[in-house]
Amino acid sequence: MPNPLCHFEFTASDEARSRQFLTSVFDWKFDGSSMPGYTLINTGSEPGGGLMKVTPEMPGPCFTVYFLVDDIPATLQKVEQAGGKVLVPQTPIPNVGEFAIIADPDGLHLGIYRSAH
């Protein structure tokens, strides 16, 4: 399947409360050691996810899914041509890859991701 779901992300007002909820409900494991301010979620199978605290720049708590793409600039161009918007431009994640956040015509937020590996 082209452009598979590759990652999901919770942005929470209370990261500890969210982590406790997700552990209690799904028995997921969390690792906050790899990136400051970001906790990786191990679901036991792919895709994995992430958890971070809401920042003042964000609209509030949300859930975002990320889809794998080969070319972020080309995908962002398609988004705009199809009536969507670029919310967060192409952004590097050192030694990991790059991402962008888009909105579909209804305003639904989606992430796109390209791996550095």
Q: How high is the pLDDT of residue 36? A: 86
Fold of 69-117: 2,3-Dihydroxybiphenyl 1,2-Dioxygenase; domain 1 (3.10.180)
Q: How high is the pLDDT of residue 39? A: 94
pTM of full prediction above 0.95? no
- What are 8-60's pLDDT values in tens digits? 999 999 999 999 999 999 999 999 888 888 999 999 999 999 999 998 877 78
Closest CA to 110 of 73, 60, 76, 70: 76
> In the CATH hierarchy, which top-level class contains the domain 1-63?
alpha beta
Give CATH 3.10.180.10 domain extents, the chain.
1-63, 69-117
Q: How high is the pLDDT of residue 59? A: 72
**Strand, helix or coil at 51?**
strand
**Residue 1 — very low, low, confident or very high, per pLDDT cuts 50/70/90?**
low
DSSP state of 17: H
Q: How many CA atoms lie within 13 A of 38 on its CB side?
A: 8
